[in-house]
Chains A and B, each alone.
Chain A
């Protein structure tokens, strides 16, 4: 080792040289909680990826901070008839390589989406309903669907447009290396190191105006304590998913600003109604199986719902960073019913309902849940168990890592399951369809209905909602379906998670319902 280095090392060890480089102007670092698995916008449909890609690429339709659809690369869209949609595309938009954006790029993108090799979760779900695409002129495009597909605009908000010129014959590797990562977005690709960082540079010619940052570095800090430490030490200026335990401390510290917003994720409970007799882990108090499945009785489900003190969970377990839930989305989202209110805590009423249903002494069940997937998920399960002891139900709790939990839950190995659901479409119809419609794998109904709740009346209303093109009429139908399922306690909603970001005082972040962390939402504080 050269002498000068040895000296430097010694000086460093002894003096603890202040080596923190002063942050340059218009540069910003952001701490993310999960790895970006690819820079290919059509490779892996995963929230952290989708959020990152929005900087470099753009969809035809964007979602605002409340997940409302707003113009993106398309300036307007309308349903010409039940099976035809016309989109007007934005003019004078250029890709990062200088080529102009036209309808041909949209056609090319739609062709590529279902054909990405090895994709672990493809975006083809969003493009599949489109059976034909017609280019009217470079800035007008028409989509045909086989059946009325009301969610087409929402689906297309998840499909990012790549350039035909630079996108021919490119593989996922070419996006990761940056060669093909050419979009129309406000930032350009600069560097991608798997599991470590993504660096972006400003796109000065962006049609939507200039961004306040020349360079943005996203660091992958999966450990929550490491994320907070990075903010405290000034290594990053924004972090996502602040651990609830640190929220109070950061909130009081004038050097930091918290921004939060109720998210599109509901934490809920599915009870297993698939069997005639006792579902797994449900017995009488002596440990013997029950004659019939108690969860098939609406009164039992209702008792289990009003037996949970949601306010206590929100205030104690979640430290205020949650909102008691009445349905599958907070009530400012499309398709939610204002008539539905969170179930009121009523242990006496719950006992009465249980007695009416033939369980005056209660029964035993095991609450299963993940312990590393949702905010405080294991503590929520513990809290529910405590409330149940007050209505005469013996509840044990067993939580496990999500890698194990979801596999078993899908196989219906549990009786009582704590789960979560984020509605990416931002409208309640799709959530009702996934979680509460009668399970029918082939038709794509109730695919995540792990409780196997089934209600023909609900199914009928929902089915008609899903083919009603008129926005107002459809919303009324979705609201009606939600009221049927919730009044029947098809599942037990607990709370909506509130997502929390923290920034250094010098910065402001505009919180979002979709839990995306976007550099475009980060501004210098005045």
Chain B
């Protein structure tokens, strides 16, 4: 286990460095941030001064080297635009994104599994077909369009929910969260639903497929033959057995829901990292772009590591040892 963790850590570090280089090359190729930062009416002396102040006068490899040296001590550079450390700018916004992602995930789970179960148990009924048709919509409608429709219906027409921003927050152990206040919840509802929609459809389909398979298995027939109630058969025997693949998928999807909250955050002006990334790309704020992608890669690495470890605990057949022959 320890050997696995150490080896994994080494690999992760390599991935991070490689990623930083690729991103650095990418943002370097896009254009000169000076064109967007310096006021066009400014003279040449001002342009030269600002370029030097932001370290953009150095050659590419030297800029990268400076970045790497800083990164080794935990400094990912200062935002060109906001003049604050890029990492702290991202970490300030990360709780909002993570909260949004978690609430979306919880929504997807609480709605997706029961709906999938219903559809799986009654595949030919009107309700079952309706749920499946709904899940197809959830898959295929573009997120930004659904977001706008939600705003038009719930904010503009009905006036129930605010159209943008994050509401009142409460601080818990240093983290500000908004799901504990009514105002916070009202701000959270629509973006979370918007973000949950795709995952919700995914979980409906997974659960339905699992359920349809499970109800035909011998252990379910046996449970029914024993005279157990329908709810106990489904709640205990069916659900328990189909949950294993679903849990795995949820773990994997959590990372992507954090990383891809960008569209939702932009539409609902949710002050998270996705909105920050979009704005930073538009302004070519290189340190923030690089730092953001590194944070996301690190997040994926951590989540995947946790999933691997959990998996080995759940299923004893999976070993985390170093021997590649066992794979």
Q: Measuring CB to CB, which residues of chain A are less than 8 angstroms from any residue of chain B?
A: 5, 8-9, 12-13, 16-21, 35, 37-38, 43-46, 117-122, 124-125, 172-173, 176, 193-197, 219-223, 225-226, 229-230, 232-235, 372, 401-408, 410, 421, 424-425, 430, 434, 441-442, 444, 447-448
Contact = CB atoms under 8 A, between A and B. Distances in A.
Interface string B283-294: 110000000000
Given A8-B182, A18-B160, A120-B54, A404 B269 contact: no
A434 B271 contact: no
A19 B182 contact: yes
Given A12-B189, A120-B53, A226-B267, A444 B83 contact: no
A225 B159 contact: no
Interface of B: 30-33, 35-44, 46, 49-50, 53-54, 78, 80-84, 89, 92-93, 148, 151-152, 154-156, 158-166, 180, 182-183, 185-186, 189, 266-269, 271, 275-276, 278-279, 281-284
Contact of A424 (B31, B41, B154, B165): B41
A372 to B, nearest CB: 7
Contact of A230 (B35, B54, B163, B276): B163
7 contacts: A20-B159, A44-B37, A173-B83, A222-B278, A229-B148, A229-B163, A235-B165
Given A43-B83, A221-B164, A434 B40 contact: yes
A424 B275 CA distance: 29
A448 B276 contact: no
B46 A122 contact: yes
Given A120-B81, A441-B44, A233 B266 contact: no
Contacts of A172: 83
Contacts of A444: 43-44
B82 A197 contact: no
Contacts of B39: 45-46, 121, 125
A37 B81 contact: yes
Contacts of A425: 41
A403 B161 contact: no
Contacts of B53: 117-120
Contacts, number: 186
A133 to B, nearest CB: 20
A194 B164 CA distance: 16
A404 B148 CA distance: 29
A124 B39 CA distance: 11
A406 B31 contact: yes
Contact of B159 (A121, A220, A233): A233
Given A193-B271, A230-B164, 4 more contacts: A122-B42, A195-B275, A219-B269, A222-B278
B50 A233 contact: no
Contacts of A35: 81, 279
A442 B151 contact: no
Nearest to A236: B164
B30 A121 contact: no
A16 B158 contact: yes
Contacts of A430: 41
B32 A407 contact: yes
Contact of B164 (A8, A18, A235, A404): A235
A23 to B, nearest CB: 12
B43 A403 contact: no
A328 to B, nearest CB: 13
Contacts of B93: 195
Nearest to B167: A19
Contacts of B267: 223, 225-226
B103 to A, nearest CB: 11
B163 A17 contact: no
A466 to B, nearest CB: 14
A12 B82 contact: no
A234 B154 CA distance: 12
A372 B269 contact: no
Given A12-B182, A403-B30, A404-B31, A18 B159 contact: yes
Given A44-B81, A221-B164, A124 B46 contact: yes
Contacts of A20: 159-162, 186
A189 to B, nearest CB: 17
Contact of A442 (B42, B44, B182, B185): B44
B189 to A, nearest CB: 7
B14 to A, nearest CB: 30
Nearest to B29: A404
Contacts of B37: 44, 120-121
Given A403-B36, A403-B284, A197 B165 contact: yes
Nearest to B51: A120
A232 B156 contact: yes
Given A12-B189, A448-B40, A122 B49 contact: yes
A311 to B, nearest CB: 28
B278 to A, nearest CB: 7
Contact of B271 (A37, A195, A410): A195
Contacts of B152: 229, 232
A19 B84 CA distance: 35
A451 to B, nearest CB: 15
Contacts of B82: 37-38, 194-195
A194 B84 contact: yes
A406 B160 contact: no
B36 A406 contact: yes
Nearest to B151: A229
Contact of B38 (A5, A18, A120, A421): A120
A408 B82 CA distance: 25
A492 to B, nearest CB: 19
A408 B50 contact: no
Contacts of A402: 36, 282
Contacts of A173: 83-84
